[in-house]
Amino acid sequence: MAEKKSKTNVAARSESKKRVQLCRYCGNKVEVILAVASNGKRKMKRLCCGV
Ligand SMILES: [Zn+2]
């Protein structure tokens, strides 16, 4: 039972990893980076088209 559950978890995880975000401006793959600001706040940054 537990094995089955973990298998499902891995499958779900890899599927969410596979999903790529596409830039809504140019349609290219968008690289999302996690930037930490000086005040310690974490921010998701998208690297594409300079936006
Ligand atoms: Zn773009």
Alpha-carbon gap, residue 27 to 50, rounded angstroms: 14
pLDDT at 41: 94
Q: How many residues does the chain have?
A: 51
Whether 13 is in a domain gets the answer: no
Structure tokens at 49: 């088209």
Whether 31 is in a domain gets the answer: yes
**CA of residue 32 to ligand 1 center, whole Å:** 12
Name the residue with higher pLDDT: 50 or 26: 26
Whether 8 is in a domain gets the answer: no
Nearest of 44, 7, 8, 46 to residue 26 by alpha carbon? 46
Give the model confidence (pLDDT) of 7-48 as tens digits: 778 777 666 666 777 888 899 888 888 889 999 999 888 888
Number of domains composing the chain: 1
> Residue 51 pLDDT more than 60?
no
Whether 38 is in a domain gets the answer: yes
Whether 40 is in a domain gets the answer: yes
Which range marks the domain in which residue 26 is found?
20-51
pLDDT at 39: 95
**CA of residue 49 to ligand 1 center, whole Å:** 4
Whether 30 is in a domain gets the answer: yes
pLDDT at 42: 92
**CA of residue 20 to ligand 1 center, whole Å:** 13
Whether 37 is in a domain gets the answer: yes
**CA of residue 29 to ligand 1 center, whole Å:** 7
Q: Which long-range contacts (CB under 8 A, 24 or more apart) does 7-12 make?
A: none
pLDDT at 40: 94
